[in-house]
Every structure is written in structure tokens, then in C-alpha cells.
Amino acid sequence: MEECIFCAIARGEMKAAIVHEDEEVVAFKDIEPQAPVHILIIPKRHIAGLAEMTPEDEAVVGRIAGLSRKLAERFSFSQCGFRLVANSGPDAGQAVAHLHFHLLGGRKFRWPPG
Ligand code: AMP
Ligand code: ZN
């Protein structure tokens, strides 16, 4: 857990382009953007992923959903559309074992994602 890069970003020990921070969550730009706006929203507290969540973690996920709406307004795609995605486990391609939601906007997205 000491080597978790998203914990390091949450503690301010690793550089990131932070767009929002409060006592429970941090949002920062993804280093490999898949859309004109690609932001990662994480809980500051280490949670390995959706599959490892406990009932106590549910409130912070609600907070992340609410923040995604505010950021969508700030980045001007709340009405035209955006996507909030969390990959869980190897089949979904989760690469960082710290719960994170991708907020993607600024282009059209296909469904199903493949
Ligand atoms: P996932 O595949 O859902 O685990 O997504 C991990 C995401 O984290 C990828 O989109 C990476 O580009 C992104 N990422 C990895 N390291 C960093 C970092 N130091 N700063 C910002 N984004 C990162
Ligand atoms: Zn972590």
C-alpha cells in the first residue's frame, strides 16, 4: 500500500494536475487521456477497487458521483454528455489498485465499449 501511486497523489507526494481536492476526494487529469477531458476521481482513503468496497465506502462513491456532475458542468459537457467509468479487476483492465472513476467528456462515445 505504501507504493500505491494514487495514495501518493492523494498525499501530495506525487505530482498530478489536480482539478479538485477536498477532505475526502481528489480529482486529477489522466496522464494518458482518452478524450479531450479525462479526469480521474479517487477517494483519498485507500480502497483497492469496486470489488473490495465495504458498506462504509459507499458514501464516498456517492460523493464522487456528485463531483462528476459538478466537473461536467465546469468543463461544459454536462448537457451534451459524458461518461463515468470504473474498471474492476483484470478482465476490465484495472491497472491501478486504488479505486478510481474515469470522467470522460468532450467527444462522442460508443456503446457497448468493447
Ligand atoms: P485503469 O486501467 O482503470 O486502472 O486506469 C488507470 C489510469 O490511470 C490510466 O488511464 C492511466 O493513464 C492513469 N494513470 C496512471 N498513472 C497516473 C498518474 N501518475 N497520473 C495520472 N494518471 C495516471
Ligand atoms: Zn492507494
- pLDDT tens digits, residue range 42-65? 999 999 999 999 999 999 999 999
Q: What are phi and psi of 10, to 5 degrees?
A: -65, -30
Cis previous bond, 112, omega within 30: yes
Please report the atom of ligand 1 found closest to the CA of residue 97.
4
Q: Are 29 and 16 in contact (CB under 8 A)?
A: yes
Query: How far is the C-alpha of 103 from the C-alpha of 90, rounded, in Å?
Result: 20
**Mutation test of ligand 1: which of 6, 30, 88, 103 has the most ligand atoms closer than 8 Å to its C-beta?**
30
pLDDT tens, 93-114?
999 999 999 999 999 999 999 8
Question: What's the pLDDT score for residue 32?
Answer: 98
pLDDT score of 2: 59
Whether domain 5-105 has CATH 3.30.428.10: yes
Angstrom distance (rounded) from CA 13 to CA 26:
13
Say whether pTM exceeds 0.85. yes
The pLDDT value recorded for residue 114 is 82
Cα–ligand 1 centroid distance for 43 (angstroms): 14
Q: Which ligand approaches the C-alpha of residue 39 most closely? A: 1
Domain residue limits, the chain: 5-105
Looking at ligand 1, which atom is closest to the CA of residue 102? 3
**pLDDT at residue 76 greater than cutoff 90:** yes
Question: Is 100 among the residues known to form the active site?
Answer: yes
Q: Is 40 exposed, middle or buried (0-12, 13-18, 19+ CB in 10 A)?
A: buried
